Amino acid sequence: MVKRRICVLTVFLPVCLSTAWADSNLNASESAETSVDASNLDYTTDAQVNALLQLLKTPVEEYQPTRVADVIDPHVKLKMYEVSWVNAPQYVLSASEMKTYKHPVKLQLTVIAATGYIGSSKLIASSGSKSFDQKVQKSLLVARLEPIPMVDKNLSYTVEHEFAIHPPQ
């Protein structure tokens, strides 16, 4: 600890002495010029401060983004997409499950865009048969949608899809 203090004093002591010596060698005329410049700076600084204060006091209109006439609000326009499966979900139902089935099950799917794998599914509307709903959700674990090429591997999107039973023909 003592060695460090000695080193600090030996390094900074000559610097402090040379700065003090340079300050003492100023002429009286140089110091007078600096005081004149300082008063001009004070005046310009006051003028700039007053201008800034005036600017802050003036009210500003609320920002309005530019409007484009031919843009359609995305909430107004219905978006219909066709779901294209690489591996469609497959499920087998028993006769009792077929009897309890009333209407298609509607699920919200979260899809990883780069691979097409389904990350999660959320039940929106039940089919009336809990076992059918569960079988559809289990079949989605191995199902895969068409991937979107050249996108970030972390990008995902959600899509709502109905799963129905098609009677044999």
* Tens of pLDDT, residues 110-160: 999 999 999 999 999 998 888 889 999 999 999 999 998 888 888 888 888
- DSSP annotation of 141 reads T
Which are the contacts of 158, defined by CB distance < 8 A and separation ≥ 6?
A: 108, 109, 110, 111
Sign for the CA dihedral angle at 155, 161, 165, 169 comes to negative
Contact criterion met (CB below 8 Å) for 137 and 124: no
Residues 6+ apart with CB under 8 A from 83: 145, 159, 161
The answer to whether the pTM exceeds 0.85 is no
Q: What digits encode the pLDDT tens for the residues 88-115?
A: 998 888 888 888 888 889 999 999 999 9
